[in-house]
Amino acid sequence: MKIGIDIGGTNLAAGVVNDKGEIVICDSCPAEVEQGYSAVLDKLVMLVNTLRDECRREYLNDPITSIGCGVPGIVKDGVVINAPNLFWKNKPLAKDLSERTDLPVYLVNDATAAGIAENRFGASKGCKDALMYTLGTGVGGAVIVNGAVVNGAHGVASEFGHTLVGPGFYTCNCGKRGCLETYSSATALVKGLVHAVEEGVQTALNLETATAKDVVDAAREGDPAALKAFDTMVDKLGLSMANMIDILDPEIIVVGGGVSGAGDFLFDALRKKTAEYTTYKEFEPTPIVQAEFGNDAGIIGAAYAGEYL
């Protein structure tokens, strides 16, 4: 059994994951990050102890062998280099948590954790070379090459969200203009709707209250401004995926996160657009598929991070 912990700015969600990728015991608590690193570390130790005790009672012959943490930020060699939502910089979390629990501890970025969950048990299972895009408030990524995650020299690999894919129509949180995240995230869908209306395109949606899901639903019904925002998202995502095929030529591309819930309407358009932008059209198209796990991916992938480092 392995423990996976999804460390978020609001909640710490932890689970005991079995070798089928099922969360058999779970627990969570508020992160209260404003209390500082040591306080959060104490909570993580408590979560681990609680899960371990329960695991001992329920699965006597299958003890916890390791812990993995998914962190919303840059991690490198067991150290959280920077996690703005946690207010952490250069925190040796793997070492600290390992000393307090006597278990090996592995750290990965949270989007990478989702990619690991899909690769170990989900949509890209069995593929040694796979990419994952997570389309949520932002755009996260995971790169798996030859069965291992690519973390990079500074821990900033797989940040697809900040690759530049066009001129941009608003400035990204990172300060750049033209990031994929400003075209293809949930945030970008809503901003894209407003932008289309500003350019004179009609919509039946209420600009004050429309969510990303509203934009997708309206696009599906043919709402002109929503369709424009949706097409822009698909265009840039397709361009990014075609570029990834020219760079890494993965066996499969998995798409998760809230926006991926748009289903076939999104995936059909995305496959078509990626094919248009693909250089070598004589091959079978690289499969672009929906993620199988939802919110659990963070815990499951974190639990199995050690196999991918």
Binding footprint of its own copies on the chain (CB under 8 A) = 74, 82, 129, 141, 143, 145-146, 148, 150-160, 162-164, 174, 176, 179, 239, 242-251, 277, 279-280, 282-283, 286
User: How remote is the C-alpha of 5 from its chain's centroid?
Assistant: 14
CA distances from 104 to 46, 100, 175, 205 (A): 16, 10, 37, 51
List beta partners, residue 4: 15, 68
Task: Compare residues 20 and 154 and give the one whose CB is closer to its own copies.
Answer: 154
Q: How far apart are CA 211 and CA 202, in angstroms?
A: 17
Task: Compare residues 146 and 209 and give the one whose CB is closer to its own copies.
Answer: 146
Task: Compare residues 43 and 273 and give the one whose CB is closer to its own copies.
Answer: 273
Q: How far apart are CA 63 and CA 247, in angstroms?
A: 41
> Could you tell me where the DSSP H helices lie in 170-287?
181-184, 186-198, 212-220, 224-247, 264-277
Contact between 165 and 235 under an 8 Å Cβ cutoff? The reply is no
SS3 3: strand
Smallest gap from Cβ 233 to its own copies, in A, equals 16
Task: Compare residues 20 and 281 and give the one whose CB is closer to its own copies.
Answer: 281
139 exposed, middle or buried (CB, 10 Å; 0-12, 13-18, 19+)?
A: buried
Smallest gap from Cβ 192 to its own copies, in A, equals 19
**Which two three-digit tokens encode residue 34?**
């404003």
Task: Compare residues 159 and 296 and give the one whose CB is closer to its own copies.
Answer: 159
Q: Which residue has the tokens 């389309």?
A: 135
Task: Compare residues 165 and 210 and give the one whose CB is closer to its own copies.
Answer: 165
Task: Compare residues 61 and 90 and give the one whose CB is closer to its own copies.
Answer: 90
Contacts of 222 (CB under 8 A, 6+ apart): none
Which region, left, alpha or beta, applies to residue 86 given φ > 0 means left and ψ of -120 to 50 means alpha? alpha
